[in-house]
Amino acid sequence: MYSKGLFGRRLEQNFFNCSCDIRWMQLWQEQGEAKLNSQNLYCISADGSQLPLFRMNISQCDLPEISVSHANLTVREGDNAVITCNGSGSPLPDVDWIVAGLQSINTHQTNLNWTNVHAINLTLVNVTSEDNGFTLTCIAENVVGMSNASVALTVHYPPRVVSLEEPELRLEHCIEFVVRGNPPPTLHWLHNGQPLRESKIIHVEYYQEGEVSEGCLLFNKPTHYNNGNYTLIAKNPLGTANHTINGHFLKEPFPGSEAKARAPLPPSSSQISRLVT
């Protein structure tokens, strides 16, 4: 078809046959592409006469029309989905989905051909959360040119505690965390199995970007009373995730008096369920 090499070239001394094969060039001239609107271009008609390109009238020769079954598609992780792309026009266009970079496994295409419509079903199998935010693009192309349409893919999935680090001294002591989930989960903290209340000494700072929440549980001059297990709970409508680390800030001033004290255990699933319900 056409070539990017045409940009900046003069085509005025070239005579083409008036046909659908140069309809794209006529459209470029109309749109001012490659400065073709500043050139006097001609084609040779069926009777051998020269015809200004802008006057060429070829029937059944136009850019493809394209449509998709979804402008936005929302699915749950692990589900399957089918999206249809229809390309129509004359000449009948080739239609294809651009799926480079798509992570969902076992994607495949099925061609459906009718007299004046070329349709392709794109089937996504076992959709993965890694494809959240992916843009699926369908193209329809014939000798005249190319049209495209896009589908924004949203994948909902349960929360995941990606990381939860032991306390680290920065400006304040920080238990750093990263959580993912879509919809973005709400966050709760437990200290030794009990709800943690924020105060002047302990508070949470984090930022959320899309499906990722990242931040710190901060401690301002903690003491041995703040030692213990810290559990981060993330919850959205699709599920709950939790992770526990042990935070040790200071030694006990009189370790002998509490030597027989039993170390707290991480909360059980039933305890967590009761606390965040």
Report whether pLDDT(277) > 80. Answer: no
Report whether pLDDT(130) > 80. Answer: yes
Q: Which pLDDT value is given to residue 186?
A: 96
Centre a 10 Å sphere on the Cβ of residue 205 and count the other Cβ atoms it contains: 10
Q: Among the listed ranges 26-30, 102-106, 161-165, 231-235, which one has the minimum average pLDDT value?
A: 102-106
Q: What is the pLDDT confidence band of residue 59, given thresholds at 50, 70 and 90?
A: confident
Please calculate the CA angle 41-45-51 and round it to the nearest 5 degrees.
35
SS (H, E, C) the chain: CCCHHHCCCCCCCCEEECCHHHHHHHHHHHHCHHHHHHCCCEEECCCCCEEEHHHCCCCCCCCCEEEECCCEEEEECCCCEEEEEEEECCCCCEEEEECCCCCCCCCEEEEEECCCEEEEEEEECCCCHHHCCCEEEEEEECCCCEEEEEEEEEEEEEEEEEEECCCEECCCEEEEEEEEEECCCEEEEEECCEECCCCCCEEEEEEEECCEEEEEEEECCCCHHHCEEEEEEEEECCEEEEEEEEECCCCCCCHHHHCCCCCCCCCCHHHHHHHHC
Q: Which two structure tokens, joined as six digits, stand for 31?
A: 């749109």
Pick the CATH number of 65-156 from 3.40.50.300, 2.60.40.10, 3.40.50.2000, 3.40.190.10: 2.60.40.10
163/58: higher pLDDT:
163
Please state the rounded mean pLDDT for residues 141-157: 95
Please state the rounded mean pLDDT for residues 198-222: 94
Q: What is the pLDDT confidence band of residue 15, given thresholds at 50, 70 and 90?
A: confident
Q: What is the pLDDT confidence band of residue 179, given thresholds at 50, 70 and 90?
A: very high
pLDDT digits (tens, 9 = 90+) for 110-128: 676 667 888 899 999 999 9
Domain boundary assignment for the chain: 10-55, 65-156, 165-254+262-276
Are 65-156 and 165-254+262-276 the same fold in CATH? Answer: yes
- Chain centroid offset of residue 135 CA: 6
The closest of 150, 156, 158 to 72, measured between CA atoms, is: 150
Q: Yes or no: say if 189 and 204 are a contact pair by the CB < 8 Å rule.
A: yes
165-254+262-276 is classed CATH 2.60.40.10: yes
Report whether pLDDT(264) > 70. Answer: no
What is each CA distance from 231 to 22, 111, 218, in whole angstroms? 68, 51, 14
Looking from the CA of 49 toward its CB, the CA atoms found within 13 Å total 5
Report whether pLDDT(245) > 70. Answer: yes
